Structure 1
């Protein structure tokens, strides 16, 4: 995963990096499906109510909230299906020669997960994948913790999930939004304390046989969402809120336009033809872009 840390005080960078590294290590230990020793994998194997750490409870709560807000378009119980589709390890280690599984794993949905404080119950056989929501929460936590420790303004970018904390530079946080070398790009200025998330059908891709796959799976069909959108970028008060909308928008396809417009969130959607659609007062762009 690509990571960037930007601070308003250069002397604060080392301390900010230490804070971010510590947060990411803790989240990996709590919630990574690819870490065999993670707390979430132990929970998946248990099949009985389990008291989890405060961190994992927070991450599960965020995933379940995203599921509720998107009517199940984002579903943390999609893990087994991702494994069926070949996404069974870190994307850098994927084996595209493996045969494609054609059957859907045990039917599951987010309502089967019970969270009461730190007590969690997950039916045996249901594999949790917190995916994008955990990364978004990580960005929010990393920015907040780095600012808390250093007092500097901080921007943290975790593979397109961008969170900020503290004061911004005078010109705002300058962020380049793009979805490919050959596609329109835009530089936008983010105000202090806001976040931006980009969800893409162009990244975390692999092949099984002749079929191209990407990591944003529609829980209802069990297959990667149709690539109506190359990328969806959303600005919101937190990275979790922005990521929830951007990921669900990929799954909803063209229906996402009215849905995002109703929420009055700034968004930039690039369709499969490379045409840029901006909604909800998307920040002024100072380069590139077609409408």
Structure 2
């Protein structure tokens, strides 16, 4: 096997292939996919298709195949989760100070515009149900701003893994932060993955079967201070506010990274109710609560605890 790692979108990207001779070509293919996704939907670059077309989108306009796919997959995630994952929360994130890459946001925000709505604010009308997408014709109401960050990263992992396998005919594991997708044959014993959100969290090494995917959603990463409050990036769509941090992290394994990401994000939003909900869908998941206790569902292997920070890298 061979691996290459680099930084993208404020997180770590890596590609692992079963044939070392294919690594350079595989890395180039993954980077092409990431660039295409970034150019289509980044909220943080004025030249992305999403931001350039913001005014025309309010009336409805033709968009690229890539942007149409990313929106279509985001709507699928919303449907799977009953709206817990909503791709139309861009304006809510702006109102909470998440208006640029988090690497550029001061740990303690110096700007204090209008106070964000209180946690008990009136519920929002689901924005994702107001989107209109027909082929590559897309309409986004003027009062909404798409934020495709989480689902787009998962889609990118799925697309990149599939593209590498199709082009190079080797086994591949693509990792984008907490989103992993695989394609083709895997090493003996499966892809060995260390599941650990931060160094302070319990670690567990698991085996990922070929063609499967995994995603971790976290309330401990992508945090910032704004208007005297500590924020994280996973919002409860009902209120447009950060979800209560019942779980430090939620990890889900599924047949696609998009699906795994949708349900891991929704688990954070659902809080305590996530356990029964994931069980009812027979989803293999690992939830770490605010005290570091681990709850597993759907056949996820029971953890053999390791002290935080100990080895077992995949």
The bucket for the TM-score relative to the shorter chain is over 0.9
Q: Distance in 2 between matches of 1:199 and 1:90?
A: 18
Q: Distance in 2 between matches of 1:252 and 1:121?
A: 29
Counterpart position of 1:59 = 70
Task: Mark the runs of 5 or more structure 2 residues left unpaired by the alignment.
Answer: 1-10, 118-123, 308-314
Counterpart position of 2:178 = 160
Cα deviation per residue 1:258-291 (whole Å; 9 max; x = unaligned)? 11001101100000110000111114656538xx
Q: Give 1:99's match in structure 2, choosing from 112, 121, 132.
A: 112
2:30 equivalent to 1:17: no
Distance 1:283 1:152, change over 3 A: farther
- Calculate the aligned-residue CA RMSD, in Å: 1.7
Q: Distance in 1 between matches of 2:165 and 2:285?
A: 26
Conserved in 1, the CA contact under 8 Å of 2:115 and 2:227? no
Deviation at 1:122, TM superposition (A): 0.9
Counterpart position of 2:49 = 39
- Bigger drift between 121-130 and 168-177 goes to 121-130
Counterpart position of 2:226 = 208
Cα deviation per residue 1:213-263 (whole Å; 9 max; x = unaligned)? 000011111110000000000000000000000000100001111110011
TM-score, structure 2 normalization: 0.88
Q: Distance in 2 between matches of 1:285 and 1:22?
A: 37
Describe the SS at the equivalent of 1:138. Answer: helix
Distance 1:103 1:260, change over 3 A: same
Distance 1:101 1:185, change over 3 A: farther
Cα deviation per residue 1:185-208 (whole Å; 9 max; x = unaligned)? 001010100000000001111001
Distance 1:133 1:178, change over 3 A: same
Q: Distance in 2 between matches of 1:213 and 1:92?
A: 15
Conserved in 2, the CA contact under 8 Å of 1:216 and 1:224? yes
Number of residue pairs aligned between Structure 1 and Structure 2: 289
Q: Distance in 1 between matches of 2:179 and 2:114?
A: 30
Q: Distance in 2 between matches of 1:67 and 1:148?
A: 29
Q: Give 1:128's match in structure 2, choosing from 129, 146, 163.
A: 146
Conserved in 2, the CA contact under 8 Å of 1:72 and 1:110? yes
Deviation at 1:209, TM superposition (A): 3.7
Q: Distance in 1 between matches of 2:241 and 2:256?
A: 28
- Bigger drift between 55-64 and 107-116 goes to 107-116
Task: Mark the runs of 5 or more structure 1 residues left unpaired by the alignment.
Answer: none
TM-score, structure 1 normalization: 0.95
Conserved in 1, the CA contact under 8 Å of 2:213 and 2:254? yes
Deviation at 1:99, TM superposition (A): 1.6
Conserved in 1, the CA contact under 8 Å of 2:284 and 2:299? yes
Cα deviation per residue 1:115-174 (whole Å; 9 max; x = unaligned)? 111111111231110121110000000111111121110000001100000000002100
Counterpart position of 2:95 = 84
2:201 equivalent to 1:175: no
